Structure 1
Amino acid sequence: MPESATPALPAVDDFAGLDMPAGLLATLTAQGVTTPFPIQGATLPDSLAGRDVLARGRTGSGKTLAFGLALLARTSGLRAQPKAPLALVLVPTRELAQQVTDSLAPYATAVNVRLATVVGGLSITKQAATLRRGAEVVVASPGRLNDLVERGDCVLDDVRITVLDEADQMTDMGFLPQITKLIKQVRPDGQRMLFSATLDRNIDQLVKRFLTDPVVHSVDPSAGAVTTMEHHVLHVQDATDKKAVTTRIAARDGRVILFLDTKRSADRLAKRLLSVGVRAAALHGGRTQPQRNRTLEQFKTGQVTALVATNVAARGIHIDDLDLVVNVDPPADHKDYLHRGGRTARAGGSGSVVTLVLPEQKHEVSKLMK
């Protein structure tokens, strides 16, 4: 990781000591957010001062407010021209874009900053109209934002603050060329903040290219603070045994997310669970955005108790008090494991992650767990 030439500012353990508009401080109190999470206390002094920031913190650690408060504080009082936002948050998935927008909405309202969400799967015409009316902050997935820029519906020349959230996931998903194309268009003297659960070689490329003397904050060890989670490996004999175990776990009291590798297997399992009376639903990239939103809402309210998902859902889903995640298919690598597991034990809560392992998967999974 790069060493910063200028030392980081000291961390804070109280929002009141930060240079933020009164509206933001009042909203924090109203939302019941009293003490900063470690990543917020560490990064906010630097990001509010306008420094470039490179921060590693696992999912569920409070990253959204860590960059969101700084971005809103530094944008409040400014007005965007039509089609020309002043701040940009790039995220890998539609779900995460929606979640970031929802989390920041009360704070944005408090300081009179207009937010727009720009993602695939929803009407591009409506999104273009929102941008024409003017929005100071745009939360976007790279693909859709590039489309709008190419159509002339969005201009990035005025963007003074750019945030990459879940940057590792974006580069893994092949967004690197699109991200590069977008960042090359924002103001060269602007502030850049990069938040990621892991800092690997792709991230390094972005840092070298686009961040100027960044302050580095690594709030959680790379393993993620998975100490508040319990990890279980269940060895199953064969496919039949695996099906029976999966069904029994899904039928327990309380909510559970079950992760599978493919859209087809997720649909099949959801169907099988429904047939035995488990309130299940599938969530994956093959569903339309309204379908995905509806399924998530039903899971949050408890109408659906077993959410059967692919990795798409492993990022950006925030469900309060979810205490169990099951890897029906073991994840491909440790990053996927962290992100799937990160749906539980969020913000200091506790939870369990169970991985089902067939005899031929034993070797791979024991390597992964190490």
Structure 2
Amino acid sequence: MVTFYDLGIGSSLVRALNREGITEPFEVQCEVIPDALLGRDVCCRAPTGSGKTLAFGLPMLARMTQAESKRPTALILTPTRELAEQIRKVLNPLAKSIDLETLSVYGGTSYGKQFRALENGVDILVACPGRLLDLLGRNALSLNDVEIVVIDEADRMADMGFMKPVSKILEACGKDRQTVLFSATLDDEVAVLIKKYLKKPVHIGVGAKEISIDSMKHVFWKTDRGGKTTLSANIVKRYGRTILFCRTRRGVEQVGKQMKAERLDCSTLHGGLNQRQRDAAMARFKNGKSSVLIATDVAARGIDIEGVSCVIHFDPPENGKAYKHRSGRTARAGERGVVISFVQKSQQRAVNRIQKEVGIKRRYTEPNVEALEEQESDRKDEPNIDNISQKKSAPRAHSFEWKNQRKGKSANQKRPEKNGSRNSRKRGGNRPEKERPWEKNKRYNSKKKANASSSDKSGKKNKKYFGNRPQKEDAPKHQRRNRKGRRSRTENKQQNQ
């Protein structure tokens, strides 16, 4: 078994890791730490949740020197505030064990605390590009002494339009720096950044080239607009810790109120909250005080929360890439999870496109929380249209026998036959003959004649009504009134004469 000692980490850091309960390195740490300790530039493709923070944090702590006031010696760039705060919390106890200071800077927080911390001296600076450029413009710090730069979630930065700010920051750093880059994908703008700013980098790939969704169960349920919240509450009560994704801030707030009405403790997370509110929401969810985190796509990347057993797509994601990153919040570090998508009828075409991009094919089924829990989480046992290699003895997916098996009934139970149904001929039944149009008219006329004969026998005359007034049958034709209750033209002429 490989240990952190074997990888070249010092005894003080190893003791600090043991105090945190970390004893064995992950795969990405075994691959990155030796080259990073030698001072080489590293370009690593690794999925989120694979242990990247310690992979670049431990070599950084081992190699860096103490900083002067306003002149940090190590810089970590992240796309979101949540990821910056998460990295700081992981590295802070390790840095304190060797007398180093860490600071995270991002928008939505006061400048005063950041100015004072930089004045006192910060060794490791974890920053979002926007706030860091703002501090550079205010002459609050200098990056000339930076020895190590880490760019985390580079593909996410490209998606958010941070490539130009990142380039400005790299040009402001020292020329002899070590640059370490982590990304889920290494194409497009990320490849340009690697070519321009990394010097003969060591390329390392960990895991699949694309985000793996094989370890999670995918379910697509047909729902209407009104019943999604109640269904989500039932799922949370059944599965426990759950992340629910909405498309808009307004949707997050609305679903949060409805969840509270269902007597569920929930936390909401979106871009409209200040940093204190966002930190409080994440802390409540991580500590188990709230069982469901309702969020926009701001939490879909880089947030590592253990024990998330279910992800709900309350609103469909924009594309297949967003679906993968949302779903990646569950089934982390070798665990299994369930991904449930609520699909309205008008959204099925867009969800079909997302399924095609992701590489899965699932049917739209009716919601059934109990049946979902009974089914095995193995992806091979799910009803897959593309899976042709099925045993001949097994019932066909979504057949009547298959449904009986899922419900725990006997698969040999036959479907109840109904006479007159569409397939009654195949089962030996006789389809009732359809009445022909002329036979229908004949039946109607005979019934009419029967009613007329019964009225003659009773001695009552059938009165004819023109409009709203009754007419006398024995009156001359020219004196009868028309449908509007007026007299005929002949009667009017006779009166005028």
TM-score normalised by structure 1 residue count? 0.92
Judge conservation of contact 1:166–1:197 (CA < 8 Å) in 2.
yes
The answer for the alignment partner of 2:5 in structure 1 is 16
Match of 2:98 in 1: 111
The answer on whether the counterparts of 1:322 and 1:345 sit within 8 Å (CA) in structure 2 is yes
Kept in 1, the 8 Å contact 2:256–2:267? The answer is yes
Backbone CA RMSD of aligned residues: 1.7
Question: For 1:134, which of 121, 128, 132 is the aligned residue?
Answer: 121
Corresponding residue for residue 354 of structure 2: 365
**Uncovered stretches (5+) of structure 1, i.e. residues with no partner:** 1-11
Return the match for 1:69 from 47, 55, 58: 58
* Aligned amino acid, residue 152 of structure 1: N
After TM superposition, list the pairs within 5 Å mapping 1:12-51 onto structure 2: 13-51=2-40
User: Which amino acid in 2 is paired with 1:252?
Assistant: R
* C-alpha distance in structure 2 between counterparts of 1:334 and 1:48, whole Å: 37
What secondary structure, in the 3-state scheme, does the structure 2 residue paired with 1:28 have?
helix
CA contact (8 A) 2:5 2:11 kept: no
Any conservation in 2 of the 1:58–1:342 contact (CA below 8 Å)? no
Q: How far does residue 308 in structure 1 lie from its aligned partner after superposition?
A: 0.6
Q: How does 1:83-102 map to 2 (within 5 A)?
A: 83-102=70-89
DSSP 3-state at the match of 2:333: helix
Which residue number corresponds to residue 318 of structure 2? 332
Change (3 A) 1:333 1:31: same
**Could you tell me how far apart the structure 1 residues matched to 2:7 and 2:124 are?**
21
Describe the superposition over 1:95-139 as per-residue Cα deviations: whole angstroms up to 9, x where unpaired: 111110001112111222211111111111211110111111100
AA aligned opposite 1:96: L
1:344-359 alignment, distance < 5 Å: 344-359=330-345
Post-superposition Cα deviations, 1:185-227, rounded to whole Å, max 9, x if no partner, equal: 1111210011112222121121111111111111011233434
Q: Deviations over 1:260-293 (max 9, x none)?
A: 1111111111111111222223111101111111
SS at match of 1:239: coil
Contact 1:116 1:135 survives alignment (8 Å):
yes
Counterpart residue type for residue 54 of structure 2: L
Look up the equivalent residue of 1:272 and give its one-letter code: Q
Distance in 1 separating the partners of 2:266 and 2:22 = 33
Q: Percent identity?
A: 42
- Whether 1:167 aligns to 2:146 is no
Q: Give 1:266's aligned amino acid.
A: V
Q: How does 1:1-370 map to 2 (within 5 A)?
A: 13-75=2-64, 78-227=65-214, 229-359=215-345, 360-361=347-348, 362-370=351-359
Deviation at 1:158, TM superposition (A): 0.6
Which protein has the larger Cα radius of gyration, Structure 1 or Structure 2?
2
1:244 CA drift (Å): 4.1
Shift of 1:357: 2.4
Q: Which whole-Å CA distance do the structure 2 matches of 1:332 and 1:309 have between them?
A: 15
Q: Secondary structure at the match of 2:104?
A: strand
The secondary structure found in structure 2 opposite 1:55 is strand
Aligned mates of 1:98, 1:366 — CA distance in 2: 33
CA distance in 2, matches of 1:194, 1:186: 15
Instruction: Compare 195-204 and 26-35 and name the one that shifted more.
Output: 26-35
**Secondary structure at 2:321 match in 1:** helix
CA distance in 1, matches of 2:169, 2:185: 22
Question: What corresponds to 1:9 in structure 2?
Answer: none
Cα distance in 1 for residues equivalent to 2:15 and 2:288: 32
Structure number with higher relative contact order (C-alpha < 8 Å, ≥ 6 residues apart): 1
State the TM-score, normalized to the length of structure 2: 0.69
The alpha-carbon deviation at position 41 of structure 1 amounts to 0.5
User: What secondary structure is seen at the aligned counterpart in 2 of 1:117?
Assistant: strand
Quote the offset at 1:252 in angstroms: 3.1
Q: What is the letter of the counterpart of residue 225 of structure 2?
A: A
For residues 315 and 79 of structure 2, what CA distance do their matches in structure 1 show? Answer: 23
CA distance in 2, matches of 1:85, 1:215: 25
Distance in 2 separating the partners of 1:24 and 1:347: 23
Distance 1:259 1:50 in 2: 40
Q: Is the 8 A contact 1:21 1:111 kept in 2?
A: no
Which 4+ runs in 1 deviate beyond 6 A? none
